[in-house]
Amino acid sequence: MRTLKLVAVSAGLGSPSSTRLLADRLLQAARYRLAEQEYAVDVEVVELRDLAVDIANNLVTGFPSGRLREAIDTVTGADGVIAVTPVFTASYSGLFKSFFDLVDPTALTGVPVLIGATGGTARHSLVLDHALRPLFAYLRALTVPTAVYAASEDWGSGGDAYAEGLPARIDRAGYEFAGAVAARPAREADEDEVVPFERQLADLRLD
User: pTM for the full model?
Assistant: 0.87
The shares of helix, strand and coil residues in the chain, as percent rounded to the nearest 5, are 50, 20, 30
Q: The domain 3-206: what is its CATH number?
A: 3.40.50.360
For residues 72 and 118, what is the distance between their CA atoms, to the nearest angstrom?
Answer: 23
54/67 Cα distance (integer angstroms): 8
Partners of 47 in the β-ladder: 10
- Quote the pLDDT of residue 161: 41
| Domain spans, the chain | 3-206
Please count the residues of the chain: 207
Measure the CA dihedral 121/9/15/41, to 10°: 110
pLDDT digits (tens, 9 = 90+) for 111-127: 999 999 999 888 889 99
Confidence of residue 152 (pLDDT cuts 50, 70, 90): confident
Q: Which residue intervals of the chain are DSSP H helices?
A: 18-36, 52-61, 66-76, 94-101, 127, 133-138, 166-183, 197-206
Angstrom distance (rounded) from CA 20 to CA 47? 8
How many other C-beta atoms lie within 10 A of the C-beta of residue 162?
5
- Other beta carbons within 10 Å of 4: 21
How confident is the model over 79-115, as pLDDT tens digits?
999 999 999 988 999 999 999 999 999 999 999 999 9
